[in-house]
Amino acid sequence: MWFAEDLWVGREFDLGTISLGADEIIEFARRWDPLPMHTDLDAAADGPLGGLCASGSQVLAVYVRLASDAIVSRTATLGGRGVRDLRFHRPVRPGMPLTGRTIISGHEPARPGATLVLLAGELRGDQDDRVLSLTGEILMAQRQAGEVSARTPTGAR
């Protein structure tokens, strides 16, 4: 279990890769963002983005899934508080590999026993270009005296 101190500023994480099939893009958008550019291959081809692309909500969800698996699920999280400056740099097309990366970019005081940890994240696409960037805020418990951090070498105090 990682605590706030284990997510030190500058620590980096490779998050792995997810791609979205056309069916997944359409299914998600029918429920959450039913615009033709996200739900209809033919209409999207004639639309302003020149083809089907994923809803921004789904692109964010891809990043959150990768960060959840690689980082947040291992931590003493007390919940997400927000996202600063979420950017959609270019359309996400069916089958495009989306590769995530996060660097811990800041710690801010929150309340006794907890720290607001800032996670600067991105998704890169098939040409290694950024498709999403953001800074997430997660409230994280601080390590209590006597608990051993995942960072602490064996035998160290």
- The distance of closest approach from Cβ of residue 18 to a copy of itself in the complex, given in angstroms and rounded to an integer, is 10
Quick one: residue 146, left, alpha or beta (phi over 0 = left, psi -120 to 50 = alpha)? left
Which CB sits closer to a copy of itself, 80 or 94?
Answer: 80
Backbone angles phi, psi at 68, to 5 degrees: -60, -50
Measured CA to CA, the distance from residue 77 to residue 136 in angstroms comes to 13
Residues making contact with a copy of itself (CB under 8 A): 31-35, 37, 48-49, 53, 55-57, 60-62, 64-65, 68-69, 72-73, 77-88, 91, 141
* Angle CA 32–13–63, to nearest 5: 5
The amino acid sitting at 16 is: G
Choose between 45 and 156: whose C-beta lies nearer to a copy of itself.
45
Q: Which is nearer to a copy of itself, 103 or 141 (CB)?
A: 141
Q: Which of 37, 104 has the CB closer to a copy of itself?
A: 37
Q: Minimum Å distance from CB 31 to a copy of itself?
A: 7
The Cα–Cα gap between 131 and 89 comes to 5
What is the smallest separation between the CB atom of 12 and a copy of itself, expressed in angstroms? 22
- SS3 assignment for 105-150: EEEEEEECCEEEEEEEEEEECCCCCEEEEEEEEEEEECCCCCCCCC
Residue 69 CB, nearest approach to a copy of itself (Å) = 8
Task: Name the residue nearer to a copy of itself (CB basis): 144 or 154.
Answer: 144
CB of 154 to a copy of itself, least distance (A): 28
> For residues 49 and 22, what is the distance between their CA atoms, to the nearest angstrom?
15
